[in-house]
Structures are given as structure tokens and as C-alpha cells.
């Protein structure tokens, strides 16, 4: 739940809108907004007082769940990547910005199992069926295969290579493809974070 002024705008609001778009497909997760009016009828002011918020706190984010009926407050910067990481740490299975949550989970299992090939098979099946139209899906498979072949250090060396290419002159299409690959590589690099 986001508590904010009546008519929010700016970068923080844009980050929230991106979060909402990414949260939409997440099962049993609902994003809400509580606009607080600080003049006239003082709409929702009782909620502001209940959660001990001041105008300087806006936007304030709380996660309510069966485990956290009183709400857990987010204290970080209002950046979609950081909000998603916080939600994932609290058990909400959101994909990182621009990645595929089911394949993110397969990556976690791949590393936890000691790089077992069965997880590459699962990723291959997902890439060929459910995500056949997403160009990022085969990237997961290829990276898993390369890690199995060359070891976990492949992630760092490939990330550095992609980053260097992105700094150079490339076509817009290639830049978009490399950007997608960088996002997927980031899933592998941050595999220690809970989904």
C-alpha cells in the first residue's frame, strides 16, 4: 500500500507506476494507493495518523500480509528495483524489472542444486512453450549452459563484456538485445537474493 499526497507526480510516482505494471501478474498480490488530503475534508487523515506519517514521509510504502497484519514499512529509496528486491525478501514472487519470474526461480534452483542439468531442461521447456515469444527466455538457457560448461565465473566475465559493448556504438536493436541480456545476467549475478 502506498500512502501519498492527493495528486502525486514526478520520478517517485513514475517508479510506482512501473511497480504496479510489474505487480499485476503476481498471484495473490494486490497493490493499493491511499491518497491523503492535507486540506479541506482531510480525507484519509486518520490512516496517516494511524501509521504515524508526516507529509515529508510521502510516498510511504507498507506491505500487509497474513504474517504482517499491522504492515511492514519500506525504508529504502523509491526505485522500482529496490522495491522489488524488498518485496521478494518478504516472500512476494515478483520478477526483477525486465526478467521472467518463473525462469528467475529456475535459476535459483539451478544454483542451489549445484548446477544440475535437469534445471536447464526445465528452462528449455519454458523457453520453448510458455515464453516462446519472449526473446529473453532463450538467454536464460544459453547462460545456464555456459555456466555448466565454463563455471560460475562466466557470469562476471559475460556481464563485463556486455557492459563494455553497451558503452560502444551499437544499433538500437542490438542495444535493446544487449540490455535484455544484461538484465538476465543480473538475475544470475544476484542469485543469492531470495525470490
pTM score: 0.59
Tell me the pLDDT tens digit for each residue of 55-102: 999 999 999 998 889 999 999 889 887 888 788 778 787 766 778 888
Residue 194 has pLDDT above 60, yes or no: no
What dihedral do alpha carbons 118, 121, 126, 129 form, nearest 10°? -140
**Contact in structure between 4 and 58 (CB atoms under 8 Å):** yes
**Contact in structure between 86 and 74 (CB atoms under 8 Å):** yes
What dihedral do alpha carbons 18, 188, 184, 155 form, nearest 10°? 140
C-alpha cell at 66: 497474513
Range with the lowest mean pLDDT among 11-20, 58-67, 148-157, 179-188?
Answer: 179-188
Strands 33-36 and 72-73, how do they pair? unpaired
Residue 140 has pLDDT above 70, yes or no: yes
4's enclosing H/E stretch is: strand 2-5
Highest mean pLDDT among 18-32, 83-97, 99-113: 99-113
Confidence of residue 41 (pLDDT cuts 50, 70, 90): confident
pLDDT of residue 195: 44
Spell out a b/e string for 6-33, using b for 16 or more CB atoms within 10 Å of the CB, else e. Answer: eebeeebbebbebbeebbeeeeeeebee
Residue 192 has pLDDT above 70, yes or no: no
> 191 or 177, which is more confident?
177
Residue 47 CA: distances (Å) to CA of 20, 29, 53, 54, 121: 22, 21, 9, 11, 49
Amino acid at each position: 500500500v502506498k500512502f501519498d499526497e492527493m495528486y502525486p507526480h514526478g520520478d517517485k510516482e513514475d517508479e510506482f507506476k512501473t511497480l504496479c505494471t510489474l505487480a499485476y501478474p503476481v498471484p495473490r498480490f494486490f497493490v493499493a494507493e491511499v491518497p491523503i488530503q492535507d486540506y479541506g475534508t482531510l480525507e484519509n487523515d486518520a490512516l496517516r495518523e494511524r501509521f504515524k506519517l508526516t507529509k515529508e514521509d510521502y510516498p510511504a510504502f507498507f506491505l500487509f500480509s497474513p504474517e504482517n497484519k499491522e504492515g511492514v514499512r519500506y525504508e529504502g529509496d523509491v526505485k522500482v528495483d529496490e522495491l522489488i528486491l524488498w518485496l521478494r525478501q518478504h516472500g512476494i514472487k515478483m520478477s526483477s524489472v525486465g526478467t521472467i519470474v518463473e525462469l528467475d526461480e529456475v535459476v535459483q534452483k539451478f544454483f542451489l542444486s549445484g548446477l544440475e542439468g535437469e534445471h536447464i531442461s526445465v528452462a528449455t521447456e519454458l523457453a520453448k512453450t510458455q515464453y516462446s515469444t519472449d526473446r529473453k527466455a532463450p538467454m536464460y538457457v544459453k547462460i545456464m549452459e555456459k555456466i555448466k560448461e565454463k563455471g560460475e565465473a562466466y557470469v562476471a566475465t559475460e556481464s563485463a563484456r556486455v557492459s563494455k559493448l553497451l558503452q560502444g556504438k551499437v544499433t538500437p536493436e542490438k542495444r535493446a538485445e544487449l540490455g535484455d541480456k544484461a538484465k538476465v545476467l543480473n538475475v544470475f549475478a544476484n542469485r543469492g537474493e531470495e525470490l
